[in-house]
Each structure stands twice: as structure tokens, then as C-alpha cells.
Amino acid sequence: MKHEAISAPGPEQAGVRTGFWKDSLRDYGLLFSLLVIMGFFYFLTDGISLAPLNVTNLILQNSYVVIMALGMLLIIVGGNIDLSVGSTVGFVGAIAATLMVGFHLQFLGLDTDIKVPWEPVIVIALALGAAIGAAQGYFVAFSKIPSFIVTLGGMLIFRGLTGNMLLGQFVGPFPKSFQNISSGFIPDFGDFDFLKPLTGDSNFHWGSMLVGIIGAAVLIYTSVRRWSRSRAQAMDTEPFVLFIGKNAIFALLILFFSYQLASYKGLPEVLIIMGVLILIYAFVTTRMTIGRRIYALGGNRLAAQLSGIRTERLTFLTFVNMGLLAGLAGLIVAARLNSATPSAGQSFELDVIAACFIGGASASGGVGKVMGVVIGAFVMGVMNNGMSIYGLGIYWQMVVKGIVLLSAVYVDVYQKSKG
């Protein structure tokens, strides 16, 4: 390979090559596993699992897991854990619901129908999520209490507050515009009547399909550009076949999902939110100094500290960020259920944390990638959804998910110990 120009010859060479393969093998293995699981449920459910309606549901059901997994990744990479996110989801949802539905009646004693408009509610809910993260982050980062304990406390506290506030009641329904956060679809735009014969479906949402096509094209364009620039600078690049294979699979997945979504109601709004967040977090973790510092913090806290990194502040920020995302997830969940319930978000933390570990994050910190975690979240999501369609009992579903989590991490640890 030509890109070894700056490499010193020597016996180490072979080791590094295989090291590279080993590192990337995990990424590809995960992607491959997702495809296999999707295929498995496709046959098991006679194709229902990949039908347009169900693909749409899959996205709607999983968006908040993916969104919280992005925050959880930073927490775990930084060497911590957050068990409280499920309770935060419930609590923020309950506060938002109370503000929208009952605020003026209960607090101001005014007997009017004026509702708090939903935009300020969103701002308040996100701020509340961030504040919850900040409070817990303070104890973890500055008081040096293990995150497991702090967030276990948070998990109990916010679940309890949610229950107290709602007193077993459902609070809802919400204004239509608020519900759209989780059940809205992007409006059709442009006139694509001339394409209609292609699908033979007059309801096909060409606007959504077009967004998918553009997305796939942008993905391929940026990856190729990056890859060839790296290669031109003699940086270490992945082998061409793998590179093409991976991007082709990604692009095809995007096109397939867009097609299925477009055949139903188009792209959900929440998918756009999720997609934008994935891009932002991928960028932050790979390209920004703050991302690099979080990895250094988790990789070796003392070395990071002695390199002039403010490790305490950084840990604190990862928790604020997590709280913010949990707040957003709380709104999405409330909007999806169209009510706040005492059990909303219960045990979400487990799905989110499992997504991170399946996605290759290391429990000891310093390791994990955004794309891995997103795929990990989809592995969990596809399994949840597929098993439900198949009619597997909820308890057996837990058993299966537990086994998948354990095997994914086992494979990881096994690979590492061999190397």
C-alpha cells in the first residue's frame, strides 16, 4: 500500500496492520450484526418488520434512545455512568405536561382557558433537564462521589417526584403542535407529479425520498473527500474495499429507510432532530478539542489532568449535556404518549446504557464512537420491535436483550485479550 510512505520499515509493521484490521473489524462486525438481525426478523415476521408502517414506528420508538445514547456515550467515555436518565425523562415530561395542561389553574388560581404556549415549555423543560444534569454532575465532578451512587440517588429522587406530582394521574392531552415533536412528518414540498408513475403510488412522499437521496449523496461525497485527502497526505487510511463496502451499506440503508418512510407518511420530524444531533455529536467527538479532551479524561484521568485539562469541569459538562438530552427525550416521550404518566421513561436508562456498550463503548472509559452507539441503539430497537411483532413475551424479550448485551461485550473483551 502506498500510504506507508512515512512508515519506518521494521517488524512492527505487520503488527500495526493487523491492529488496524482488528480495530475496524469491530465496527464492521457491528454493522453486519445489525443487518443480520434485521434480516432475521424480516423472515421471522414475514416481512412485517420492514414494512413502511413499521419502519416509521421503529424510528419513532427509537429516537429518544438514540438521542440519550449520544449523551450517555460522552458520560461513559469520560469514565462515568448515568442511571438517572429514565427518571429525568419522566420528571421533565411531567413538568412540561403540568405547565401546558394545568399550570395556570393550579398555580395562579385563574379560571381561564389560557394555556402556556408550548415553545416556552420546551425552553423550560430543556433548562430543567440541564439543571438536573448540573446538580448530579456537581456531586460527581467536584464532590468526587462515584457517579453510580449519585445517579442511583437521582434515579430514585426524580422518579419519586414524578409520582408525587402526577399522583397516579395521566396529564394530557397536549396541543397538536406539541404532539408533532414526535408524531409529525416533514411537509411535502415541490411538485413531483411527473415521478408518480415510477412508484405507481400516488401517496408516495417524493420530498422525503429526495431528502434521503441527498443525505446518502452527502455521506458518500464527504467520506470519499476525506478518505482521498487523508490518502494524499499519506495518513493511515482504511483499505479501499472496506471503505467502499461500509459506505455503500450505509448509503443503501439510508435509501432503503427513506423509501419505506416515503411510502408511508414521509420523514418524521423527530428523525430530522435525531439526524442533526448525530451529525453534531459525531463532529464534536472526532473533530473538536472538547471531544478529544473527554476521551483523554476517560483514557487516563491523571495524565489528562497533568496535561492541563480541567478534568472536573469537563466531567461536569458531560452531565449537563446528558441532562439536556434527557430533557429533550422527556419532551419527545411525552409528546408521543400524548400525556405524562408516572411510569414514563421507566428503565430507559438500561436501553440507553446497553446501546452504548453494544456499540463498543468501554466501561472503563476512553473508548466509544458515535456511529457505534447509534448502531447499538438500533440493534436494541430492531430487536425490541421485532420481538414484539413476533409476539414474544415481554419477559423473554428481557432475557434475549440481556444475552445480546453480554455477548456483544464478551466478543469485545475476547478480541482485546487476544491482541
Interface with other proteins by CB under 8 A: which residues? 4, 6-8, 10, 12-13, 15-16, 19, 229-230, 233, 235-236, 287-290, 292-293, 295-296, 299-300, 302-310, 366-367
Q: How far is the CB of 362 from other proteins (least distance, A)?
A: 8
Identify which of residues 115 and 292 has a Cβ nearer to other proteins in the complex: 292
Identify which of residues 24 and 57 has a Cβ nearer to other proteins in the complex: 24
3-state secondary structure 213-257: HHHHHHHHHHHHHHHHHHHHCCCCCCCHHHHHHHHHHHHHHHHHH
Identify which of residues 12 and 46 has a Cβ nearer to other proteins in the complex: 12
Among 354, 378, 273, 275, CA closest to 49: 378
Identify which of residues 23 and 119 has a Cβ nearer to other proteins in the complex: 23
Instruction: Reduce the DSSP state of residue 190 to 3 states and report it.
Output: coil
d(CA 407, CA 357): 11
Q: How far is the CB of 310 from other proteins (least distance, A)?
A: 7
Q: How far is the CB of 273 from other proteins (least distance, A)?
A: 23
CB contact burial 252-291 (16+ within 10 A = b; e otherwise): ebbbebbbbbbbbbbbbbbbebbbebbeebbebbeeeeeb
Cα-based angle 80, 354, 323 (whole degrees, multiple of 5): 50
Q: How far is the CB of 364 from other proteins (least distance, A)?
A: 9
Q: How far is the CB of 361 from other proteins (least distance, A)?
A: 13
Identify which of residues 133 and 366 has a Cβ nearer to other proteins in the complex: 366
Per the listing, cell 415476521 goes with 45
d(CA 97, CA 173): 8
Q: How far is the CB of 215 from other proteins (least distance, A)?
A: 22
Identify which of residues 114 and 302 has a Cβ nearer to other proteins in the complex: 302
Determine the distance from the C-alpha atom of residue 344 to the mean position of all C-alpha atoms in its chain, rounded to a whole number. 18
Q: How far is the CB of 186 from other proteins (least distance, A)?
A: 29
Among 365, 358, 359, 352, CA closest to 405: 358
d(CA 414, CA 338): 45
Contacts made by residues 150-157, CB under 8 angstroms, sequence distance 24+: 151/81, 151/82, 151/83, 151/84, 152/83, 152/84, 153/84, 154/83, 154/84, 154/87, 154/88, 155/83, 155/84, 155/86, 155/87, 155/349, 156/87, 157/87
Identify which of residues 29 and 299 has a Cβ nearer to other proteins in the complex: 299
Identify which of residues 288 and 406 has a Cβ nearer to other proteins in the complex: 288
Q: How far is the CB of 27 from other proteins (least distance, A)?
A: 16
